[in-house]
Structure 1
Amino acid sequence: MKALLLSICLIISSLSSFSQEYYAIEGVVTDQQGQPLQGIDVYVEGINKGTATNRNGCFKLMSLSPRAYRLKVSGIGYVAHEEVISLPEQSQLLTITLKESLYELPEIVISRETLTGGSQFLSDVPGAAHYLSAKQLDKFAYSDINRILRNIPGINIQEEEGFGLRPNIGMRGSGVERSSKITLMEDGILAAPAPYTAPAAYYFPTVGRMQGVEVRKGSSQIKYGPYTTGGAINFLSTAIPQQLFAKVNIMGGNYGRRVAHAAIGQSFEHGGFVFETYQNSATGFKELDNGGPTGFVAQDYLAKVRINTSADARVYQALTFKIAQATGDADETYLGLTESDFAVNPFRRYAASQVDNIKTNHKQYMLKYNIIPSDHIDVSISAYRNEFSRNWYKLERIRFDASPFRPVSDVLEDPNTFANEFSILTGATSPSPNALLVRNNNRVYLSQGVQSLAGFNFTSGEMEHDIELGLRYHFDEEDRYQADDNYAMNNGVLQLSSKGAPGSESNRITNAKAFAAYLQYNFQWGKLHALPGLRYEKIDLQREDFGKTDPLRTGAALVKSANATDVWIPGIGFEYALGTFAKAFAGVHRGFAPPGIAESAEPEKSINYELGARINRAGLNLQSVLFFNDYQNLLGSDLAAAGGGGTGDQFNAGEAIIYGAEFELNYLAAFPNKNGFTFPLVLAYTFTNGEFGSSFAATNEDWGSVSSGDQLPYLSNHQLTANAGVDHRLFNVNISTKYVGAMRATPGTGNIAANDLIDANFVIDVSGSYKISKAVSAFVSVTNLTDQVYIVARRPAGVRPAMPRTFLLGIKANL
């Protein structure tokens, strides 16, 4: 491929330079698979002369006098390259290969510590795997993870507040509630606030500052527990660059949207650093009765520092320290609308939610040591600590007079029966001074541990072997110290009537101690690639409930509970090369999820199968997968976000079957005589069907009474994403479309009742950028171009709208 590209570049160069005499630097830029890279910046330092590669990866810098020049080559998502070129002594026809800036450490470490190894190793994974590069993420500059992940098949999403601040993500029907059934990581470290104790992710990594997103599903992801049924997501934070790099993105839009993203970093012979901040805010698109704030402010800061030996040292060693903080302040609520009010104004917010607000603070620390003592051995050891606090002050219950409080969800489901309570929700003066109960959901989380990873690779004849051993000791904790305040409604204004004592509503500490180990053997012999693995999880959970009458936690009314489990999780995946470009793969593994603290709850267990094929050749990447998940025990969760009571406890839901198909196509079209244009095309389709195999009465209000054969809620049978674009070295235009089929809000069979229906929706986003100079581009994007109005959820209380049409425009500078 590289020889062919050089020939093309040489022919073009010869035609353009016929009968002219001057010196030039020319060549071709490719990725590590030999594919041409378009739009890569190539310039000569110090003389203000530069260009960008065309669709064949070719470049040419002309009219250069005979002397030495420093050539610099750079592009989004790739490690910058530079070299000194001497004219006319040195050959001027160059072949330059750029590496993805996936990680700041050697290649063997990249493939070991990441889920996919980037696009370079993606086709070698014996199972469903996906990687979104920095260049792909940059096209729309999304800060909403929901819109990013819709490009990957097999992922199920329930939108919530429109900005993607608290996403609900599942994989292959695993359940979407607060992303509690997937393994969520940042840089290979567990990222949920308390992954074992309370996995509901009220914190989610700030996706706007990430330079890559990786997803693994099927048997190939048992390495990344504890949740092995659906899959794993790993967010790759900005890597320490190999040379001086700085970026500043400033954008603004409607609904008071403001985004600022800045980073600077550099590497030296024995170290490097990167400092970064991402600021995101909006005044909100919902309209609070009588006015008031409905927006958010999110601020994120990150720093990485690395010291290392020389790259050519006999024993390479590196020590990397990472520290980050993310704070949030959002005037967000769980209170939705009645169906009739949604029809009048879908963006209305009732007066009773005017004091609802969530404040969050997340801190993360990570210290990682890497050593490569030989070409066959590599070891990494990481110590990590995540601290997270959140206080969601939000309306829980309501009453008209001295009658018992009722959940607001009951009122919105039947506003006629509860007409008096509903009138207070919408601002009518309450006869009782204690008409509205607002809960101070104050919780503090801790997640810390040490994990190590060792790899040993060798060859024997035509066979390649790679043995990997991982160990992790982990501790996490959730501390609930909550209180209920009472309010009166006075002509649309909430007035505090009594303040609850801290710890008087929920006053407990739950923790988990977990030891995990896995052994994985990566074997390749000719066309056959096998990946057997075995994971072990031992989990001990304990709870101390001090009760509502002991805020000082003296232990006078202490109630202790515990649960424990240990499990072996085997899996094996196979991949077979069908030819130069095509491969088939298959796998089977045990799915597992921890049971939580409830003594009656058993671990979630399933046997999962997948069968697929992929094609990778010049400009074309295609993958198709069939999957079948057979649950012996499905776990449900009592989450307030899912319409439950908010205890966070899990319960047994018995047998279930989920099956489906995934299809993914990435195609880059480049036609002759099109002046350097390329046309990227992406298709992602998912079919999923899930049904309960047992009958039971769920402890969460969202599921209610379930019968065998009922369909799983919030699981669409059909999802389709289609993206197309036009790329040129000076500009690009992109369009992204998403279709999500209808789904039901509660378990059931047959036609979906109107009050249980989440309608199908079709949304179009567009974006574009124009290169003003070598370093600066103008950017614009519009989400929900046609301003579609649709319901995204009927939980936890009332119907909730999708984000309306929004725009964002600004400047991106990469220096």
Structure 2
Amino acid sequence: MTFSNVFKPAVIATAIASVVSINAIADDKADDIEHLSIFGHTNSVNDIPGSAHHLNKEALERFNYTDIMRTLTSVPGVYVLEEDGYGLRPNVGMRGTGQNRSEKVTIMEDGVLAAPAAYSAPSAYYFPTSGRMESVEVLKGTSSAMYGPRTTGGVINMLSRQIPEEELAGRLALQAGEDGFGKVHGYVGGSGEQVSSVVEVFHYQADGFKDINHSDADTGFKKNDVLAKLKVNSDSTAKYYQELELKVKYADESSDETYMGLTQTDFEVNPYTRYSASQKDNMSTEHKQLQLNHSIDLSERFSLGTTAYYNDFKRNWYKTSKVNGMSLSSGGIDAAAAFDADSSVGDLSVDVKANNRAYLAQGVQSTLFADLNEHQLKFGVRYHEDEMDRYQWVDTYNIDQNYDMTLATAGTPGTDSNRIDSASAIALFIHDQYTVNDFIINAGLRYEDMTIERHDWGKSDPSRDATPSHKKNDTDVWLPSLAVTYKVNQDLVLLGGVQKGFAPPAPGNDSAESEESVNYELGLRFNKESVNAEAIAFYSDYSNMHGNCTASQGCDDDNIGNQYNAGEVDVKGFELKAGYSADLGDVAMPIDLTYTYTSTEFKNAFSSNLDTWGDVVVGDELPYVPENQFQLTVGLEGDNWRGDVLVRYLGEMRVAAGQGSYTADDIDSRTVVDFSAHYDIAKNQQVTFNIDNLLDEEYVTTKTHGSIMVGKPRTMTVGYRYDF
């Protein structure tokens, strides 16, 4: 890549040293996260056109989730698909986009694309550690067009730990629970006259809630995340007030997860088991990030925020891919189940694939903010590069009658998948928020120009000596958006908008097309005293929806990476969010309701090798998009205590495109209840008690790979927090 030298650590260090020596700084005059946040410090969520939700520290700490998918269910129009039970592999979708590896949603941390290769390989296996986040911003609809490259569903921006405003402040939080769950979370930092900093450490782990048949192998995980920030800023009397912040992050993970689910028969006997053929399965990851944020107040009306970023992510998911020569979805699961029931049939042959991949993403983005009284303008530009280097192999094991798994044949690295997918992109946008009387008009235009490529050496050239096959896809697109809010009175706001939705084509397919749609929304927002409500109807009219074949969907090895174009698809629905806080004297009762209705329909007939689509006929509905989902949270809050009960309902889901009545092959509806309690034993000390899945509901999450994956059972944890 042509841009890599810009982000060498030595270059960054030199740049920091030079700026510090020139400016020698500190003050909180500027909004230091203005260009890192969707809403900033000055924008009210109530003024945003479309569905906008801000989950602040209090909301995140209410249930103390480390699973981002449990956190996001409080936002209407957001769909989550559980996989491992702990949220290690989030699958998040919005407004019918599909959830597979969150590939159709723009995920950011501190205003920067979080996916390791957001353009060339969006369905990656990395997601920021949500348990260390200070707040989460969710935006759907017209305003999300500023945050490409995917603009159909919406954007999730997670804001990491901000530097404390005090001279010295920090926290130590401990949590322990069933199945060996443990969490240690601490940070310390402060702000001086010229220099501010914070250091944060987050570690969590579990032994897992499943047992492997005939084996004492682990099914849990360990994950570490370390963050450090250093900020310097100019004196408040400086002509051009500036701030420079360096963010450094390191994370690693070892998780004994698998794609092997259970047969229906084994699920009914014991849903929390795994087959012995999965005993070697393990995901190991390492993530490094550098981010340099600079902001400058050019005048009272103009400010400029610039970010340079570098993300390096490596992972190897070493997992069972075939049993007795059969893929998991084509007989492999049944063979593994039969062997565990009776090993006297003979040794079992198991292929364990090393899904070894390295990702790199880097770029520079800048936003100019202009306050022109009635017009609030934003001008943005981003240059971005990313790549995914697949260098995989397959080891073959034998399992004997004692269920011992021994290596029979070691694979050669680079002989299974050996290619590099890469992308470079330039994005520009302009957004104008124009206020006239009781109207706020938001008009935006985004331009993306991207080149997506694949260099493939095949399976017989692990040294990459020969010239690889080369496929290239050049795409550029203009994405307009228009939204209007009308203030009926002090309490009621009407809103509506239209935008063009887009998702880039996949690399490696000459026939791959961009995903494009026109998206409409219309609704209202009401706020009065202790009552707040938002109701929005949405409609996405796809001229072309595409689906990307991934291992997580059960696609065969030779088909992974292929894109299938569905053509016209209609997605429409209704979102409701309402809250009320009842005053019961010495006790308050906050109530929060979230509801989403979604209807989907393929408008074309076609065939695909995408397992979740298959052979589609006109009128089929999208898989893994529930028609109804509902969440109700009721709390009681006193002076030094609080308790909350959360009831989450998810309707039936299809596992493949279809229509008419649901069948036994589809996924039943479920209701899961969580409970949380907090008690302040001192002004700066708190104890917590949490129960996830209070009623111990046994439920199916997915049926990919021809087998059943199960949700997490009832899990209790206790915690202690000390603030200073």
TM range (shorter): over 0.9
What is the distance in 2 between the residues matched to 1:538 and 1:427? Answer: 57
String of CA shifts for 1:376-414, please: whole Å, max 9, x gaps: 000011100101011001111122xxxxx221112267x
Residue of 634, 638, 645 corresponding to 2:549? 638
What is the distance in 1 between the residues matched to 2:723 and 2:556? Answer: 48
SS in 2 for 1:441: strand
String of CA shifts for 1:304-352, please: whole Å, max 9, x gaps: 1000012454321000000101110000000000001100000110000
Letter paired with 1:316: Y
Residue 408 of structure 1 pairs with residue 408 of structure 2: no
Residue of 339, 358, 376 corresponding to 1:424? 339
String of CA shifts for 1:537-558, please: whole Å, max 9, x gaps: 11101111112111111125x2
Residue 682 of structure 1 pairs with residue 592 of structure 2: yes
Where in structure 2 are the equivalents of 1:108-257 lying within 5 Å? 110-117=33-40, 121-243=44-166, 244-257=168-181
What is the distance in 1 between the residues matched to 2:670 and 2:626? Answer: 11
Residue of 685, 691, 706 corresponding to 2:616? 706
Q: 1:287 to 1:603 in 2, by over 3 A?
A: same
SS in 2 for 1:743: coil
CA contact (8 A) 1:634 1:653 kept: yes
What is the distance in 2 between the residues matched to 1:504 and 1:574? Answer: 55
SS in 1 for 2:648: strand
String of CA shifts for 1:115-138, please: whole Å, max 9, x gaps: 123696111101110110001111
Deviation at 1:503, TM superposition (A): 0.2
- Aligned counterpart, 2:715: 806
What is the distance in 2 between the residues matched to 1:109 and 1:329? Answer: 35
What is the distance in 2 between the residues matched to 1:582 and 1:107? Answer: 32
CA contact (8 A) 1:323 1:364 kept: yes
Letter paired with 1:506: S
- Aligned counterpart, 2:17: none
SS in 2 for 1:220: helix
- Aligned counterpart, 1:348: 273
TM-score (norm: length of structure 1): 0.83
What is the distance in 1 between the residues matched to 2:30 and 2:671? Answer: 41
What is the distance in 2 between the residues matched to 1:155 and 1:178? Answer: 14
Deviation at 1:107, TM superposition (A): 6.3
CA contact (8 A) 1:338 1:799 kept: yes
Deviation at 1:111, TM superposition (A): 4.9
- Aligned counterpart, 1:374: 299
Residue of 367, 383, 386 corresponding to 1:453? 367
Q: 1:213 to 1:765 in 2, by over 3 A?
A: same
Deviation at 1:201, TM superposition (A): 3.2
- Aligned counterpart, 1:39: none
Residue of 744, 759, 774 corresponding to 2:683? 774
Residue of 571, 576, 591 corresponding to 1:658? 571
CA contact (8 A) 2:326 2:332 kept: no
Letter paired with 1:428: S
Deviation at 1:650, TM superposition (A): 2.1
| Stretches of structure 2 lacking an aligned partner (at least 5 in a row) | 1-26
Residue 537 of structure 1 pairs with residue 427 of structure 2: no
Letter paired with 1:407: S
244-253 or 311-320, larger mean C-alpha shift: 311-320
779-788 or 268-277, larger mean C-alpha shift: 268-277
CA contact (8 A) 2:549 2:563 kept: yes
Deviation at 1:159, TM superposition (A): 0.5
- Aligned counterpart, 2:198: 274
CA contact (8 A) 2:316 2:355 kept: yes
Residue of 374, 382, 388 corresponding to 1:478? 388
TM-score (norm: length of structure 2): 0.93
Residue of 282, 285, 293 corresponding to 1:360? 285
- Aligned counterpart, 1:58: none
SS in 2 for 1:613: strand
What is the distance in 1 between the residues matched to 2:200 and 2:593? Answer: 33
Q: 1:247 to 1:421 in 2, by over 3 A?
A: closer
- Aligned counterpart, 2:692: 783
Q: 1:137 to 1:126 in 2, by over 3 A?
A: same
Letter paired with 1:783: D
- Aligned counterpart, 2:514: 603
- Aligned counterpart, 1:295: 220
Deviation at 1:581, TM superposition (A): 1.0
CA contact (8 A) 2:678 2:686 kept: yes
What is the distance in 1 between the residues matched to 2:360 and 2:87? Answer: 23
String of CA shifts for 1:174-229, please: whole Å, max 9, x gaps: 01000000000000000001000000130000000001010110111100000000
Bigger Rg, structure 1 or 2: 1
Between the two proteins, the alignment pairs up a number of residues equal to: 692
CA contact (8 A) 2:506 2:548 kept: no
Letter paired with 1:471: V
SS in 1 for 2:370: strand
Instruction: Report 1 or 2 for greater relative contact order, CA contacts < 8 Å, sequence distance ≥ 6.
Output: 2
Deviation at 1:666, TM superposition (A): 2.1
SS in 1 for 2:376: strand
Q: 1:312 to 1:623 in 2, by over 3 A?
A: farther
CA contact (8 A) 2:381 2:428 kept: yes
573-582 or 305-314, larger mean C-alpha shift: 305-314
Q: Name the % identity.
A: 39
Residue of 736, 743, 746 corresponding to 2:653? 743
What is the distance in 2 between the residues matched to 1:423 and 1:497? Answer: 21
What is the distance in 1 between the residues matched to 2:645 and 2:570? Answer: 36
Moved over 4 A (4+): 104-112, 429-433
Q: 1:273 to 1:486 in 2, by over 3 A?
A: same
Q: 1:702 to 1:637 in 2, by over 3 A?
A: same
What is the distance in 2 between the residues matched to 1:530 and 1:204? Answer: 34
String of CA shifts for 1:140-180, please: whole Å, max 9, x gaps: 11000111000000001110010001011000000100000
Residue 335 of structure 1 pairs with residue 335 of structure 2: no
Residue of 315, 323, 327 corresponding to 1:398? 323
CA contact (8 A) 1:427 1:490 kept: no
- Aligned counterpart, 2:5: none
String of CA shifts for 1:684-734, please: whole Å, max 9, x gaps: 000001111111111222321111110100010101110011112211111
CA contact (8 A) 1:250 1:810 kept: yes
What is the distance in 2 between the residues matched to 1:203 and 1:517? Answer: 26
